[in-house]
Amino acid sequence: MSTSLRSLRGGDMGNIITAVSSNPRVASLGRAVAEPIRRRGVRVPEVAIGLAVIASSIAAFVALGGDSDSGRRVLVSSRDLPAGVVVSESDMSLVAVSSSEALAVLPETLAAEVIGMRTTIDVRAGTPLSASLLSDVTPLDASEGLVGIVVGLNQAPVDLVPGDVVSVVVIDQSVEGISTTTALPFDVSVWGVSAPDDLMKERSVTLRVPLSSIESFIGHDEMHLVKVGG
């Protein structure tokens, strides 16, 4: 089975990061912002613009309904937070909104979960915090990129989650039918893992790799992931 491949440069992403639904901390905040997908043509800048529009809309909602003492108390940013900043307790405050059931805002009960996470975009002071604005994944720097591969049931551990460190084993077959198995000479971390598809039970796994190593993932017949350490 051939392995499909896609990649994104860290510099092109502008340090925009996404949370993955299988990540335990992000899952506790609600649904994930995004997960690795197998289609081509993902336009990250448009995602950032969309998140900014959502954040602005929520802020306007709070401005209209946030004076109600009887409303639901939600977390808002107490100052301007640049993209990628680690959120501390002093970066958050509480505001009451009259009705927020339809909005993906975070209640005050999740304050402890938010501390230590990073903002995915620039967040203006007073903006209600939501799962789409936060991630616990360290942003990519200019020397890193994302490589996506598709793995079958026997090609990766079933309990693979973002943050795991893996060794990549590639299998190539010659025209004579001779298979060669090689382990790439470096380990990489898992950025995201999708749920298995219904038909083939395949998963999309996104790996965080140095840009200088991206070519090592191209042209192989199969790729297998082996967890390293705990």
| Token pair belonging to 140 | 């990519």
- Residue 181: burial class (beta carbons within 10 Å; 0-12, 13-18, 19+): exposed
Contact 114, 120 (CB under 8 A): no
What's the one-letter identity of residue 36?
P
70: pLDDT strictly greater than 70: no
Q: What percentage of the chain carries pLDDT values higher than 90? A: 45
Give the separation between CA 190 and CA 225, rounded to whole angstroms.
10
Q: What is the CATH number of the domain that holds 127?
A: 3.90.1210.10
Q: Which domain covers residue 95, as residue numbers?
A: 17-135
Please indicate, yes or no, whether residues 44 and 106 belong to a single structural domain of this protein: yes
pLDDT per residue as tens digits for the range 179-211? 999 999 999 999 889 999 988 899 999 999 999
Query: Per the structure, how many domains does the chain have?
Result: 2
2 in any annotated domain:
no
Q: Dump the DSSP string for 184-222.
A: EEEEEEEEEEPPPPTTT--EEEEEEEEGGGGGGGSS-SE
pLDDT per residue as tens digits for the range 45-62? 444 555 555 555 555 555
* Backbone dihedral angles phi then psi of residue 223, each to the nearest 5 degrees: -130, 135
